[in-house]
A and B are shown apart, each in its own frame.
Chain A
């Protein structure tokens, strides 16, 4: 039972307007999604042009200026070894965005083929894949991620892999559910009757119809993945020092909460804005891609 998604059911049907153009028209109507999109573009630019925006070297320590309150010299204050928090937040964008996007990419690359396989082949293959998927979904997400990250060894890269693997079952289930609902549609039956191979049908006819759902789920999962990366870094299993990541900054900040609260406030706000943007954009996308809506 695919309960992961609501709304989108039937495949997108061709009208005189291309589906992409229609979705874009609808997306533009939803203001929160557009604001979120602008913010996401800005964040991406921040990550790309970090060296030009940061006011300091994010790893440069200054032992005479530790835990200084926000000032003109340090806009967001300085951290426990005197590094500039603003610059670290700016550079941290790279870790968080790439953690979100790459881990979801891993989950999609692993999950979609498995979902196609399960849904299309059925039988024992389906049973095996589905039960393992259920089993993974039943285990606490963070515990799986912690265990995997600990196994692979603490690093940003491994945290991404761990989150990606942990997020895979969601995509398996989603794809499988979609395949099952599309499989019996007329045009798929027709393609089969004409003698197309299974792989060809899966790739040419089924996959495109799963795409809108994947796009929505992917965007929302990026949001979850960024939080997960922050959580792993918070436990010390993500980005390694001295490179900055928002989660690891929070990990350190916790010890100085009462005498240097800015160390916790700014990275937290950065996470909030980023993740909220992905959530709002994903929700807007879901509305825009919903074939049933006007």
Chain B
């Protein structure tokens, strides 16, 4: 087991290296000259030259990459061209927002996904199964942005119950913060509920066929106890580890949701940066998200290994 975990830890390094190369190259492939975009209407050849020099756009790619990665090792993610702010500052500003959104979304994901999975497994091939299936798959089957628009239309424009957009920190005003983030969190969480439902369902089906559940049934325990106490507890382990994995996906899945609700998190930062060709921001933010994802992935794997005695070799 120990060697297995060590091996996974070692694998982390090349993976993160490839991430850094991948995003760097992808960026360079993008058409459009960042200096031109930055200057916009104030296009002045001399200033454009100055920008190119300042951000090393006039140097060969390998040099640019080494300069960037060298900075990363010293904790310097570079500087946003558009905002003239260090990328690390931006990341520090946005990360709490995205984490809050992801945590709230996770509550929706698990709150919808797990019950749906249980019902779907226990009541397999009945009307209950079908209804619950459609409900849980609803989120995965609608584009986030559309659901977001529709919710804004209903709850903000028509009913006026919730703010249409914007963000308030929970430390500033807790309830205002909840009001501002509940719709985006629902939209985001909803879109992953289907995945969790599938996993829960598969795990439950497997567990329900297992010997100890049969034994529990044979002991004459009532069905509810069998399902919740014996079935669910065993089925939940892989689901929770998968949940951790999905949390990583949530962090990056917020891209369009944040855009629609004007939530100033990672997603909005990165989409704007891609369209503005703000290289340092794209690189920095993707690197941070990808690393988070990889680490969560690793933790999920370790959890999975620990939960599965058979794999402990």
Contact = CB atoms under 8 A, between A and B. Distances in A.
B300 A131 contact: no
Interface string B129-154: 01001100110111111100110110
Interface stretch (B14-22, B55-63, B88-96, B212-220): B14-22
Interface string A3-42: 1001100000000000000000000011110000000000
Contact of B143 (A32, A139, A150, A231): A231
Contacts of B253: 140-142
Given A131-B11, A148-B26, A234-B145, A264 B140 contact: no
A138 B300 contact: no
Residue among A1, A247, A265, A272 facing the most chain B CB atoms (10 A cut-off): A1
Contact of A146 (B16, B29, B271): B271
A276 B138 contact: yes
Contacts of B282: 143
Nearest to B239: A6
B134 A140 contact: no
Interface string B297-313: 10011001000000000
Contact of A6 (B202, B290, B291): B202
A72 interface: no
A250 B274 contact: no
A127 B26 CA distance: 22
B69 interface: no
B26 A144 contact: yes
Nearest to B29: A151
A264 B146 CA distance: 8
Interface in A98-145: 127, 130-132, 134-144
B143 A234 contact: yes
Interface residues of B, number: 60
B64 interface: no
A136 B23 CA distance: 9
B289 interface: yes
A81 interface: no
B301 A276 contact: no
Contacts of B290: 135, 138-140
Nearest to A265: B150
A223 interface: yes
Contacts of B190: none
A257 interface: yes
B27 A283 contact: no
Contacts of B143: 227, 230-231, 234, 247, 250, 268, 271
Contacts of B133: 32, 280, 283
A135 B18 CA distance: 6
Chain B interface, >50% SS class = helix
Contacts of B194: 279
Contacts of B255: 140, 142-143
Contacts of A7: 202, 205-206
Interface in B224-250: 238, 242, 245
Interface in B76-131: 125, 130
Contacts of B36: none
Nearest to A234: B145
B280 interface: no
Interface in A201-245: 223, 227, 230-231, 234-235
Nearest to B148: A254
Given A6-B202, A135-B19, A250 B145 contact: yes
A197 interface: no
A134 B274 contact: no
| Residue of A130, A147, A235 ringed by the most chain B CB atoms within 10 A | A147
B141 A279 contact: yes
A222 B199 CA distance: 19
A292 B270 CA distance: 44
Given A1-B301, A272-B142, A276-B138, A6 B274 contact: no
Contacts of B245: 3
Interface string B266-279: 00001100100000
B19 A275 contact: no
A172 to B, nearest CB: 13
Given A143-B270, A234-B143, 4 more contacts: A131-B14, A134-B15, A139-B23, A279-B140
26 contacts: A3-B301, A6-B203, A7-B205, A131-B14, A134-B18, A135-B290, A138-B297, A139-B19, A139-B286, A147-B26, A147-B27, A223-B141, A227-B143, A250-B145, A253-B149, A254-B149, A261-B153, A264-B149, A271-B141, A271-B143, A271-B146, A272-B138, A275-B142, A279-B194, A280-B133, A283-B137
Name the 5 nearest CB pairs between A and B, nearest first. A140-B252, A135-B18, A138-B290, A276-B141, A6-B202
